[in-house]
Amino acid sequence: MKMIRNLSTVIAAILISVPSLALADHDVLLQGNNRLAIIDADGTVSWEMRWGGIHDIHLLPNGNILTRQGGAKVVEINPTTKELVWSYDSAQENGNAGKRIEVHAFERLENGDTMIAESGAARIIEVNQDGKIQKEIALTVEHPGAHTDTRLVRSTKSGTYLATHESDGKVREYDRKSGKIVWEYEVPLFGREPAGGHGPEAYGNRLFSALRLENGNTLIATGNGHGVIEVTPEKEIVWQIQQDDLPNIKLAWVTTLEVLPNGNYVIGNCHAGAGQPLLLEINPSNKEVVWTLDRFDDFGNSVSNSVLVDMAGKSIR
């Protein structure tokens, strides 16, 4: 990816040809310091454009980038031309005009529609390419707020959505057909009092993401709980890492999760400060850190989401 003439073609080729095992280093698509960029495995920034803050991002099979623009607009970017080829503004469309709406999660579905989680409206919608709602699911929110109704939402193979409700400290699983909650889990505080905030000194259960593993368990990034837990359907914690478990690494606002084909976990470590990795890959069996990305000087303290380009289409994220 050194000589980039047609980035969409290059990325699309990676999606097809990437090997089944993770590489020692990774090509990473991320946003920080008003830069949307791809960092190659050798550390070179091979592509970038000026871009504001995000909470979700995807690399589509056609090589385009699906991300957020502003607080409520979902956009698809052609990275070669840097032009928007599709957009949907949740702050204006389908009954939301005049409301405070924020969007923190979205996903391009297999049928071509786009799932969007609308905080403030407390709903998940699926819209087609023309912006028409094809499906709507009302979210259960105990502590409503446009900034905190949800963080990431992800579909599962079983036909559900796993939604992380930041203000409630809970994962709720919604059936896509009925909209009913079929599973719920409250992230524990482990006997500590919540201290609010986002940095290493903060504490709480304001979770950010949840993924359904192949074994049926759920992997949860606990946000300002500074860790990751794996929970069974019966709500038993069977694996976890906490803030100071990893040598020379302090976990802060733990955001994204990506499960690689070799079983390793890639974890987002946002708001951790200088000298701490933005991303880290660990072997869950022995909790060994096998790769880190520390680009604080270039991308700052608020890298909330990322995509491993070399693993796109192969990992669970």
Give the DSSP letter string of 71-91. TTEEEEEETTTTEEEEEEETT
Query: From the DSSP assignment, how many helices (H) and strands (E) are in the chain?
Result: 2, 24
Helix (H, G, I), strand (E, B) or coil at 73: strand
The tokens describing 147, both together, are 């900034």
Query: CATH topology of 55-186 equal to that of 187-312?
Result: no
Sign of the torsion angle spanned by Cα atoms 259, 265, 269, 275: negative
Q: How far is CA 153 from the centre of its chain?
A: 8
What is the rounded radius of gyration, in angstroms, for the C-alpha atoms of the chain? 18
Multiple choice CATH, 187-312, 3.40.50.150, 2.120.10.30, 3.90.550.10, 3.40.50.720: 2.120.10.30
User: Which DSSP helix (H) or strand (E) runs through 13?
Assistant: helix 7-17
Helix (H, G, I), strand (E, B) or coil at 34: coil
Cα–Cα distance measured from residue 81 to residue 84, given in angstroms and rounded to the nearest whole number: 9
Cα–Cα distance measured from residue 140 to residue 78, given in angstroms and rounded to the nearest whole number: 35
Report the candidate in 82, 18, 35, 30 with the shortest Cα–Cα distance to residue 58: 30
DSSP, res 187:
P
CB atoms within 10 A of CB 82: 15
DSSP, res 150:
-
What type of residue is 188?
Answer: P
Cα–Cα distance measured from residue 171 to residue 231, given in angstroms and rounded to the nearest whole number: 11
Decide: 1 and 27 in contact? Cβ < 8 Å: yes
H-state helical runs in 233-308:
296-299
Low-confidence ranges of the chain (pLDDT < 50): 1-5, 10, 12-23
Task: Break the chain into its structural domains and give their ranges.
Answer: 55-186, 187-312
- pLDDT one-digit tens code per residue, 89-114: 999 999 999 999 999 999 999 999 99
Decide: 222 and 215 in contact? Cβ < 8 Å: no
**Fold annotation for 55-186:** Methylamine Dehydrogenase; Chain H (2.130.10)
Cα–Cα distance measured from residue 11 to residue 35, given in angstroms and rounded to the nearest whole number: 19
Decide: 39 and 47 in contact? Cβ < 8 Å: no
Quote the pLDDT of residue 196.
84
The tokens describing 137, both together, are 């699911």
288-293 sheet: strands from edge to edge: 253-259, 265-270, 279-283, 288-293
Decide: 244 and 232 in contact? Cβ < 8 Å: no
The tokens describing 162, both together, are 């796993």
